[in-house]
Amino acid sequence: MLKSNIDKATGFEKRFENINTLVYKNSIDASKAVAKEIADLIKIKQAQKQTCVLGLATGSSPKGLYAELVRLHKEEGLSFKNVVSFNLDEYYPMAPDSINSYVRFMEEQLFKHVDILPENCHIPDGTLAKEIISDYCNEYEVKIKALGGIDLQILGIGGNGHIGFNESGALQNSKTRLVALDHITRVAASGDFSGLDKTPRTAITLGVKKIMEAKRIILMAWGEGKSNIIKVSVEGPIARQVPASYVQEHNNATFVLDQAAGSKLTRINRPWLVEEIVWTDNLIRKAVLGLAIHLNKPILMLTDADYIENGMSDLLADSGPAYDINIKIFNNLQNTITGWPGGKPNADDIKRPERAAPAKKRVLIFSPHPDDDIISMGGTFKRLQEQGHEVHVGYQTSGNIAVSDDEALRFTSFVCDYNDKFGIKGDEAQKIYKKVITFLKNKKASEIDIQDVRYIKGLIRKGEAKSTCCFIGIPESQIHFMELPFYETGAIKKNPVETKDVKITSDLIEKIKPHQIYAAGDLQDPHGTHKVCLDVIFEAVKQLKTKKFMNDCWVWLYRGAWQEWGIDEIEMAVPMGPDQVLEKRKGIFKHQSQKDGVVFQGTDSREFWQRAEDRNKETADLYDQLGMSRYAAMEAFVRWKY
Ligand code: F6R
């Protein structure tokens, strides 16, 4: 069973944690461990000739678990004949055969691949008349009780801390019922439903009470996006706003995390508060910067008492007094600031983030979508161009699914009307435009665009990217539209990465032989495209590593619209004055199709230019607060040493 008070990976006592929490290297290992516990339980019950009652969840988190259970069935003969399952929830209203129904999800992920008996699978019914839902929910609970309750309940966690669809504010004794979905939950789901307006507003969910009555609970969470809510749920007080925190009161519950989801836990984020540690340079930097921010003091104003009162007295004893440590960290942070992202020619570069030579560098900026270059590093992009470097941009994907139908219709009608008006012949073309217009005008919800529409949407984004490059001042010959095939499904779900994606990327790198590569290390975009694009670059770089030109190639990672690097991680900070911020804004405005309520807004209602400006200002504010010079904004980078 997955139980321990000492974390296997770190060996630390989990002093701050109110729930048994295990942090695995990655979600694959973690899912396998959970699958093993379930398999063991099923087998024990089999030996006792008993039914094994499982509470199951949907969403992205349990997918790896179900895949492993299917493997155990197929390869190791695990039988599900004695399993009775109850799913946590279902959208309402929802037809079982709809692509977004949880009935379909469970069939595809688990049920149809194993020998569970169909009559033993229970999922709340999304087709009922509203008047009878309440009775139906009571019966759902009665059925669970009749079987002796849930033996093992699997949970995921929502960004707002929901379990099942028990949203923020759900009561500890809430029953199985029809609930209204939280805005955050609907936004998270809206990608699957092609927009917020088509996303259900209600769902049927197992209540918190029944979840808590389960004999065993395992909550799984993966990825940095879950790290904040995990910290709150595990270390915070039990609070109605965070239903996952109720699990603290369960006597046999475990949170199973990957490293990213566990990264904000005190034992990982501030281990010196949990146990005696070896103070590495990175940890000292993290601790001192964190202390200054926490106390709202410039670095050089930190005192011995500040160190002692905040669990850092051993550091002080080793390397103190505070003044000495402060100076070291201050200089270190100061050295990350540079107005010369491509290196300052003929300057001493020992303490600078970039090399001085060669003075004119070849730079390759990879932009996952056509606007990430300008949103995330527009100021640096312009600076590199102005300082005489040969700047290329590789637009990794077409970004076509983020263009609205209205926008595509507008452009197509424009060309069509123009040709009509001036009698420009081109019967083939006219036929295509008319087909596109008819398709768009009659398009049904969730219908995937036909190829011509996708192409037009891609063209719109290409035009915008070219316009930004022209604004920055780089010639067309330095713009590269890569159109990585993994992206081109016309839907949110993308194809798996293949060698051709990596080949397109490594060919471009090899052609340009850059001294600098910039890549989006932004791992939180809603559909994961940035992460896939980064993985493709990592793979391409690894394959090219032994080539001579790669000895001179440094890779810088930027972040942008969705998140920022931690202050202690930043290795290069490129400052901007107020006028440069306005210039960057103009560059972002070239992406007209992404303005004013974009198709995939995410949970943040600000437009991209606002997010970029806020984020860059926040970084500048932090540097200012820590005692550095005051700038209007800053773009931050971390170097990937491959
Ligand atoms: C799904 C469910 C939800 C999800 C949660 C996390 O049955 O009840 O609580 O577990 O929204 O979703 P993912 O795993 O997609 O992040």
Q: Mind giving me the DSSP string for 145-168?
A: HHTTS-SEEEE---TT--BTTB-T
Q: What is the pLDDT of residue 444?
A: 77
pLDDT, average across residues 156-161: 95
Same domain, 486 and 608: yes
Q: Is the preceding omega at residue 243 within 30 degrees of 0, hence cis?
A: no
Chain segment 578-634, per-residue pLDDT in tens: 999 999 999 999 999 988 655 555 666 788 888 899 999 999 999 999 999 999 999
Q: Alpha-carbon distance 31 to 39, whole Å?
A: 12
The domain that holds 218 is classified in CATH as: 3.40.50.1360
Cβ of 161 less than 6 Å from ligand 1: no
Same domain, 632 and 551: yes
Same domain, 609 and 486: yes
Whether residue 269 is contained in a domain is answered as no
156 CA distance to ligand 1 centroid (A)?
5
Cβ of 88 less than 6 Å from ligand 1: yes
Mean residue pLDDT across the chain = 92
Same domain, 104 and 250: yes
pTM of the model: 0.82
Query: Which residue's CA is the closest to the ligand 1 atom numbered 10?
Result: 156
Same domain, 168 and 287: no
Cβ of 162 less than 6 Å from ligand 1: yes
Whether residue 450 is contained in a domain is answered as yes
Same domain, 187 and 223: yes
Chain segment 220-257, per-residue pLDDT in tens: 999 888 999 999 999 999 999 999 999 999 999 999 99
Q: What is the pLDDT of residue 598?
A: 58
Same domain, 217 and 292: no
| Residue to mutate (ligand 1; options 157, 202, 226; most atoms within 8 A of CB) | 157
Q: Is the pLDDT of residue 542 over 60?
A: yes
pLDDT, average across residues 201-209: 98
Please name the amino acid found at residue 551: N
Gyration radius from the chain CA atoms:
27
Chain segment 467-508, per-residue pLDDT in tens: 999 999 999 999 999 999 999 888 777 888 899 999 999 999
Q: What is the pLDDT of residue 196?
A: 80
Q: Is the pLDDT of residue 180 over 70?
A: yes
Q: Is the pLDDT of residue 5 over 60?
A: no
pLDDT, average across residues 136-164: 97
Same domain, 455 and 315: no
Cβ of 89 less than 6 Å from ligand 1: yes
Structural domain including 305 reads 278-334
Q: Is 476 a catalytic residue?
A: no
Cβ of 124 less than 6 Å from ligand 1: no
pLDDT-based confidence at residue 8 (cuts at 50, 70, 90) = low
**In 24-120, which residue ranges form alpha helices assigned H by DSSP?**
27-47, 63-76, 102-109
Which is the catalytic residue, given 17, 90, 167, 464? 167
489 CA distance to ligand 1 centroid (A)?
24
**In 169-239, which residue ranges form alpha helices assigned H by DSSP?**
183-190, 208-213, 227-235
Q: Is the pLDDT of residue 523 over 90?
A: no
Q: Is the preceding omega at residue 93 within 30 degrees of 0, hence cis?
A: yes
Residues in the chain: 642
Whether residue 351 is contained in a domain is answered as no
> What number does the ligand 1 atom closest to the CA of 162 have?
9
Question: What is the number of domains present in the chain?
Answer: 3
Whether residue 261 is contained in a domain is answered as no
Same domain, 328 and 392: no
| Residue to mutate (ligand 1; options 61, 86, 177; most atoms within 8 A of CB) | 61
